[in-house]
Every structure is written in structure tokens, then in C-alpha cells.
Amino acid sequence: MVAEQARIAENLGVIQQQIAEAARRSGRSEDDVQLVAVTKYVGASVIRALVASGCHVLGESRPQVLWSKAVELADLEIAWHLIGHLQRNKLRRTLPLCQLVHSGDSQRLLVEMDKEAKREGSAVEILLEINISGDTEKHGFDPRQVAEILPTLAQLEHLKIVGLMAMAARGSSAEEARRDFAALRELRDQLAGDCPDNVTLRHLSMGMSNDFQVAVEEGATIIRVGSALFAGIDR
Ligand SMILES: *Cc1c(COP(=O)(O)O)cnc(C)c1O
């Protein structure tokens, strides 16, 4: 356990250093970049070591796993982010547990989320997931259609759309990913020029273990890092 925590702390230190350097290369500060620690590979005991090392914003890609970990770790101070596809029949249990949903990936889902948020009397913060690489197996809005659909989404008054999220094309190198990240930033800049009042596009959630430095250089404000945090840990 102690060795585990030391290893995670060491990995985290390296990642934070890399974030700071990449932020500086893009003329920003590391404080402009939120690290979401993706815990989908590990169980509760490793997550405890992670939180003890100072990570309090955690990402899970599967709603049911998020439910069970949230219960198991209820004694810890954790802000959970959902980063994977959310089925509409899981909304009711998932939304109250999440600080931010990265995977707002269809109009149908957003309409149902809005209804659920209204029922709960709460506001839900979400990112619009964009299928920036055009991969047919990926979820997300078609980047060519977002501008047209955004005013309609903005009318969902119990949702707060605070940015965009994307993944680079499967199997791409960090430098190949740069093209996708730059495209997401350009899309954001283009949409921000004519943005409905209750929508802010301040966040760009992009970059994972293999490409987060490039993502930060291209303007990421949130990165989602899993494997790099757990290098050298039995999981
Ligand atoms: C698993 C996952 C990550 C983290 O991936 P790593 O390569 O392990 O850092 C980030 N984002 C999403 C959406 C994921 O599913």
C-alpha cells in the first residue's frame, strides 16, 4: 500500500511537471489545466492511494462502475466526472453523483438530461462531446452540425453547457492527435463567436496519457489521464 502510494505520487509529480511545461509552451499557466484522474483501470484501494496523493477529481467511463465506486469511497472528498457514454435509462442514478458530464453526445440524451435535471431541481454541467476525428465507432456530435444545433441545445435551461470534449482518432500518435485537438479548439473559437447567452465554451476536455502534452499545447483546459498515473502499479 505504502509503496503503491509512493509510486502514484511519483507518477503524478512527473505528469504535473509535464503539464506545467506544456502550459508554458502555449503561454498559459498550469493552473489553467485541470487534471482528471481516470480510475477505470483500478479498484478502491488504489483510488484511496490516488486521493491521498492529492487527486480529488476522478473520471469514470461507465456509469454503473461510477455508482459502485461512489458508494465504496463515499468517505473521501471526490468530484466525479463521467467521461463515457451515458445511456438514458441511467441518468437518474448518475447525474446526482457527477460534478461534470464530459459525454454529452447527442441531442436525445441532452433533452432527457434536461428533463431529469428539472425534476431534481438542479443544474447539470456538461460538455458537448464532438466526434472530431469522424470515427464511425465514436459517439458525439458531428463537428459540421454543432453550429446549427447549438441554439436548440441552449434552450435546455437546466443544462449548463460549459465546453467541448473530444478524443483523438484511435491509434494516432501524439503528433497526429495534434490535428484533432487543433480542430476542436478552432471549432470552439468559431462557435464562441456567436454563442447563446447561457452557453459558455470555456472548457476544452482533450488529451489522455499518450497525448496530453500536445493537448495542453493546443489549449486543453481539462485533460483525462489514466494509465500514466498507474505505471508500475499492479492493477
Ligand atoms: C480511458 C479514457 C481516458 C484515459 O485514457 P489513458 O490513455 O489511460 O490515459 C481518457 N478519456 C476517456 C474518454 C477514456 O475512456
Q: What is the pLDDT of residues 44-96, one digit of tens each?
A: 999 999 999 999 999 999 999 999 999 999 999 999 999 999 999 999 999 99
CA distance 130 to 121: 28
Is 90 exceeded by the pLDDT of residue 36? yes
Which amino acid is located at 99 in the chain? Answer: Q
Best mutation site among 101, 211, 223, 224 for ligand 1, i.e. most ligand atoms within 8 A of its Cβ?
Answer: 224
Question: Who's near 173: CB < 8 A, 6+ residues apart?
Answer: 210, 211
Question: Who's near 92: CB < 8 A, 6+ residues apart?
Answer: 116
* 121 CA from centroid of ligand 1 (Å): 31
What does the pLDDT average to over 123-131?
A: 96
Q: What pLDDT score was predicted for residue 18?
A: 98
Three cell numbers, residue 88: 438514458
- Mean pLDDT, the chain, as a whole number? 96
What does the pLDDT average to over 25-32?
A: 96
**Domain residue limits, the chain:** 2-225
Q: What pLDDT score was predicted for residue 1?
A: 62
Q: pTM above the 0.95 mark?
A: yes
Residue whose CA is at the smallest distance from ligand 1 atom 10? 224
* 148 CA from centroid of ligand 1 (Å): 29
pLDDT digits (tens, 9 = 90+) for 177-221: 999 999 999 999 999 998 998 999 999 999 999 999 999 999 999
Q: What pLDDT score was predicted for residue 136?
A: 87
Q: What pLDDT score was predicted for residue 235?
A: 74
Best mutation site among 103, 170, 206, 208 for ligand 1, i.e. most ligand atoms within 8 A of its Cβ?
Answer: 208
- Atom number, ligand 1, closest to the C-alpha of residue 40: 1
Which amino acid is located at 51 in the chain? Answer: V
What is the dihedral angle through the alpha carbons of 225, 231, 234, 235, rounded to the nearest 10 degrees?
20
Is 80 exceeded by the pLDDT of residue 2? no
Is 70 exceeded by the pLDDT of residue 29? yes
Q: What pLDDT score was predicted for residue 234?
A: 80
Q: What pLDDT score was predicted for residue 3?
A: 85
Q: Which CATH number fits domain 2-225: 1.10.10.60, 3.90.1150.10, 3.30.460.80, 3.20.20.10?
A: 3.20.20.10
Three cell numbers, residue 225: 489521464
Best mutation site among 57, 83, 229 for ligand 1, i.e. most ligand atoms within 8 A of its Cβ?
Answer: 83
Residue whose CA is at the smallest distance from ligand 1 atom 15? 61
> Which residues, judged by CB distance below 6 Å to any ligand atom, belong to the binding site of ligand 1?
38, 40, 61, 83-84, 167, 208-210, 224-228
